Amino acid sequence: MGGSSIDDEWEFTSAANGVRTVVLVGRTGNGKSATGNSILREKAFRSMSSSAGVTSICELRTTVLEDGQILNVIDTPGLFDFSAEPEFIGQEIVNCINMAKDGIHAVLVVLSVRSRFSREEEAAIESLQKLFGSKISNYMIVVFTGGDDLEENDETLDDYLGRDCPAPLKNILEMCGNRRVLFDNKTKDKSQKAEQLQQLLFLVNEVVKNNGGKPYTDALFVELKKGAIKLRDQTAEVNSLEGYSKQEISELKEQMQKSYEDQLKRIAEMVESKLKETTFRLEQQLAEEQAARLKAEASAQEAQMRSNDEIRKLREHLERAQRETDALKKQAEGGKCAIL
Ligand SMILES: Nc1nc2c(ncn2[C@@H]2O[C@H](COP(=O)(O)OP(=O)(O)OP(=O)(O)O)[C@@H](O)[C@H]2O)c(=O)[nH]1
């Protein structure tokens, strides 16, 4: 390694082999796997309609694009769905980072025009930022799935966003430089398939350019990379040892592997505790917002009941007044008859 730092090595690997890595994130069922398949131009990830998550672990597939660019696509389970266990998520985030050995060139945040952008979804993106730092937004591209649904209603993505864009979604789009693309993962039209993929790859290129070709990395990546490099170097050293029995060499290798796995476990625990902290705060926030909403609903209901009550009283009052007027009229008519 000489005097080179981990960062140098990263830049070297990325620039030297030209491989790019994109990661699909988003709520379960938003169409991450289907979008991954559209990018890979084959059914590599399992994608289907199910209320429970279909993708249970991070998976990586590689494709060679038309221009010869090698692209790694990582599909993830709903890493920031609040229903998942932090232990599992911590482990999967470490797996995902470990798969993206040379860093992440773009994070594809998959949303669906077929379901409303929820508060939970907003919180999930907040939690992604809290875990990876705000600079992750420089790598984010929003992919809206369900292009066919919009087409059916003769709508464009701009129409959809203009008509139905909640403020938090606007903020997210702004935060990631308005990089967004619409995908129809159901289309059989070859030119539509090619065009939407071109649009996405154009945005990925933009992200790479804006970030000076440097993939996203942070302390977690550095730690993992260090561990992997150490294991690789130690393995090479052990392989070149002389005068040791096969048994001794295999024991040494086992020890090294174990210490690498321990390191992975430690990092997973670190992610898990950071995530628990973030999730706890976000859950508290969501619970407070929910309580405030319920309170507002209850007072609106109370006000409605009060006004119903007042209307009823007013109606009774008017009816009573009408009855009294009628009785007076009758009396007056009776009096008139008597006089006549
Ligand atoms: N109509 C339509 N359906 C889509 C589109 N993209 C995905 N779907 C459907 O949405 C459902 C969920 O898609 P997935 O790709 O499995 O979603 P996911 O986000 O990977 O979900 P998990 O793997 O469970 O985390 C499937 O039935 C897909 O066929 C799209 O562009 N249009």
Looking at residue 85, its amino acid is E
For ligand 1, atom 12, the nearest C-alpha belongs to 29
CA of 185 to the centre of ligand 1 (A): 8
Query: Please, where are the H alpha helices in 211-245?
Result: 219-239
- Nearest-CA residue for ligand 1 atom 16 is 47
Q: Name the average pLDDT for the chain.
A: 84
SS3 304: helix
Q: Which of 25, 30, 47 to mutate to test the pocket of ligand 1 (most atoms within 8 A of CB)?
A: 47
Residue 25 CA to ligand 1 center (angstroms) comes to: 13
Give 220-277 pLDDT, tens digit per residue. 777 777 887 888 888 888 888 788 888 888 888 888 888 888 877 877 787 777 777 7
CB 72 within 8 A of CB 19: yes
Q: Which of 77-91, 174-188, 277-291 has the lowest mean pLDDT?
A: 77-91
Sheet containing 59-64: give its strands across: 59-64, 70-75, 20-25, 106-112, 140-145, 180-183
How close is the Cα of 49 to the center of ligand 1, in Å?
Answer: 6
Considering the chain, what percentage of its residues have pLDDT values greater than 70? 89
* Measured torsion, CA atoms of residues 303, 304, 309, 311, in degrees rounded to the nearest 10: 120
Q: Which two tokens stand for residue 232?
A: 């690789």
Q: How far apart are CA 9 and CA 160, in angstroms?
A: 44
Cα 90 to ligand 1 centroid, rounded to whole Å: 24
The answer to whether 141 and 180 have CB atoms below 8 angstroms apart is yes
Residue 146 to residue 113: CA distance in whole angstroms: 6
Looking from the CA of residue 46, the nearest atom of ligand 1 is 16
What is the rounded CA–CA span in Å between residue 200 and residue 179? 9
Q: Rounded to the nearest 5°, which phi and psi values hold at 29?
A: 90, -5
Q: What is the pLDDT of residue 5?
A: 41
How far apart CA 234 and CA 252 sit, in angstroms, is: 9
Burial (Cβ within 10 Å: 0-12, 13-18, ≥19) of residue 222: middle
Q: What confidence score (pLDDT) does residue 4 get?
A: 37
- 74: CB partners within 8 A, 6+ apart: 21, 22, 23, 24, 58, 59, 60, 96, 99, 100
Which residue owns the Cα nearest ligand 1 atom 3?
146
Q: How far is CA 216 from the centre of its chain?
A: 17
Give per-residue pLDDT as tens, 57-113. Answer: 889 999 999 889 999 999 988 776 666 677 777 778 888 888 887 789 999 999 999
> Which of 192-206, 277-291, 321-335 tops mean pLDDT?
192-206
Most confident of 10-24, 26-40, 111-125, 128-142: 26-40
- Nearest residue (by CA) to ligand 1, atom 8, is 31
Ligand 1 environment, Cβ below 6 A: 26, 28-34, 47-49, 53-55, 77-78, 145-149, 183-186
Question: Mind listing the pLDDT tens digit for each residue in 102-145?
Answer: 789 999 999 999 988 887 788 788 878 877 888 899 999 999 99
Asked whether the predicted pLDDT for residue 318 surpasses 70, the reply is yes
Closest CA to 271 of 281, 283, 279: 279
Segment 167-174 shows an average pLDDT of 90
Cα-to-centroid distance, 29 and ligand 1 (Å) = 5
